[in-house]
Structure 1
């Protein structure tokens, strides 16, 4: 079963919410757009790999996007598959073109036919993730569980090359479609060697019980201030910021689009970017409302919960 389902990463949610609410002259905007594009590409690659790993769900326990704390350090794992006798750690890489693993220099290079770029060595990355997970399991008296690790290449058209020890690269790296079979083969071999049968669901629950969510402080990273976040309801059709409230909905002055619930995205943006709570007055300002009663009705009809002590609204 899939015990933890992948969702859109919180840093990417924040970037997607912030970028349309910044002035075009904001100095950090180009970098934010570039980072959002890279994070979206990584997320899309993880979804592609999930498509194949999900085939193991009837047999094994799967956790996606794991974030744990070990010895004062945090570590993140794209996917964990808990099989009958072992655990498989899977790291996703979404590269286009040709990638070359240099086993001597421990470096990855990618070529798209015009530009060659260097990246951190994925095999070293996955070994470090496995090391942290092994220590984490040891501290919870689960150190007897063997761990395999794999680097899944999300795009089937990506050409994989190796300079140096090709067998070393082949032991860890494969296209996503091949990873499930590798996991099953490795687990079967541990069973043949007499490994203890796992209660995969219980091990999964133990990991899930301490799993957090990776976050990023946009204001610190991009030198933003809260006042840089511009208010207004954004049109779902053309992206214009500043839809007007009309009877039972919102109207875009630019493209004349009508929406009943465009304000829900704006409320979500506020809670993501500004504060975790919102008051009636703050709602009026951020949605561009002139009436406190209108703000009150919107908040009451939203999925948010009212907390009388602070006279504010927040998510469930």
Structure 2
């Protein structure tokens, strides 16, 4: 069963909100667009691998996008599969072209035909994840659980090469479609060794309960002054950011259309890009409305949580 689904990443939502609220002539917009495309490509690669790992859901417990904390620091795992005898960490790589795993220099090299790039070794990353997960399990009184790590290459067209010890990598690196077969092989081996069965559903629920959502401040990462972010309510039709508040909705002058709830996306953009709470005054400024009563009605209509002491509105968890 899948007890933690892969949802659309909040980081992608932030990039989409940011890109529509930066001036077209903004000097860093090409960097922001490139970062967005990279994140989106990675997400699509994860979905490709999910199609393969979901074949194991009937007899096993699967969690996607797991983020746990140990000693105040977070570590992430793309996919965790808990079976009858072991836990499997799947680290997903979504690259085109040719991938060369260099075991001498502990590096991954990608050649897409026009450019060669070096990356941190996924093997090192997988080993670190396994060590951290083992520590985390021990702290939650879950001991002696075998942990295996795989590097899943999402695209069948990606060529995999090894410089150095091929035997070191042959059971770790593979195209995604081979993951179920490899896990079933490991399970048979654990069974033949007489390993004790795991309460995989119970373990999965403990991990799901403690797992948090990966998030980051992309505005700070790109060193963007929040004053550069365009305010206003955007027209869902023509994307004009200057909708005017009229009775019962919002009017777009360029396309002559009226929208009832166009403010909802604007408030969501504020939470994504500015801060996770909003005051009545900040709402008026961001939506370009003058009446505090209008702003209050708008915020109330979104079913937000109101902190009377702080006089701020928050998104529900």
Query: Does TM, scored on the shorter chain, surpass 0.5?
Result: yes
Q: CA deviation at 1:294?
A: 3.1
CA distance in 2, matches of 1:270, 1:67: 25
Instruction: After TM superposition, list the pairs within 5 Å mapping 1:184-263 onto structure 2.
Output: 184-256=184-256, 258-263=258-263
Count the aligned residue pairs.
Answer: 316
Unaligned regions of 5+ residues in structure 2, if any?
A: none
SS of the residue corresponding to residue 104 of structure 1 reads coil
SS of the residue corresponding to residue 74 of structure 1 reads strand
Question: Relative to 1, partners in 2 of residues 1:304 and 1:108: Cα closer, same or farther, differing over 3 Å?
Answer: same
Moved more, 233-242 or 204-213: 233-242
Q: CA deviation at 1:250?
A: 3.2
Cross-structure match for 2:113: 113
Give the root-mean-square deviation of aligned CA atoms.
Answer: 2.1
Q: CA deviation at 1:60?
A: 0.8
Cross-structure match for 1:40: 40
Question: Relative to 1, partners in 2 of residues 1:104 and 1:40: Cα closer, same or farther, differing over 3 Å?
Answer: same
CA distance in 2, matches of 1:117, 1:145: 36
Moved more, 282-291 or 105-114: 282-291
Unaligned regions of 5+ residues in structure 1, if any?
A: none
Moved more, 103-112 or 231-240: 231-240
- Check conservation: 1:64, 1:79, Cα contact below 8 A: yes
Q: CA deviation at 1:79?
A: 0.6
Cross-structure match for 1:66: 66
Q: CA deviation at 1:255?
A: 4.4
SS of the residue corresponding to residue 21 of structure 1 reads coil
Cross-structure match for 1:178: 178
Q: CA deviation at 1:168?
A: 2.3
Cross-structure match for 1:22: 22
CA distance in 2, matches of 1:262, 1:51: 35
Q: CA deviation at 1:80?
A: 0.3
Moved more, 62-71 or 146-155: 62-71
Moved more, 237-246 or 163-172: 237-246
Question: Relative to 1, partners in 2 of residues 1:253 and 1:47: Cα closer, same or farther, differing over 3 Å?
Answer: farther
CA distance in 2, matches of 1:150, 1:143: 21
CA distance in 1, matches of 2:35, 2:109: 20
Q: CA deviation at 1:256?
A: 4.6
- The Cα offsets for residues 197-251 of structure 1, whole Å up to 9 and x where unpaired, read as 0001111122223222222233432223332222112233443322233454334
- Check conservation: 1:148, 1:186, Cα contact below 8 A: no
CA distance in 1, matches of 2:176, 2:253: 46
Cross-structure match for 2:292: 292
Moved more, 211-220 or 86-95: 211-220
Moved more, 235-244 or 34-43: 235-244
Q: CA deviation at 1:84?
A: 0.3
Moved more, 275-284 or 183-192: 275-284
- The Cα offsets for residues 150-180 of structure 1, whole Å up to 9 and x where unpaired, read as 1111112212122222232221111111112
Instruction: After TM superposition, list the pairs within 5 Å mapping 1:66-215 onto structure 2.
Output: 66-215=66-215
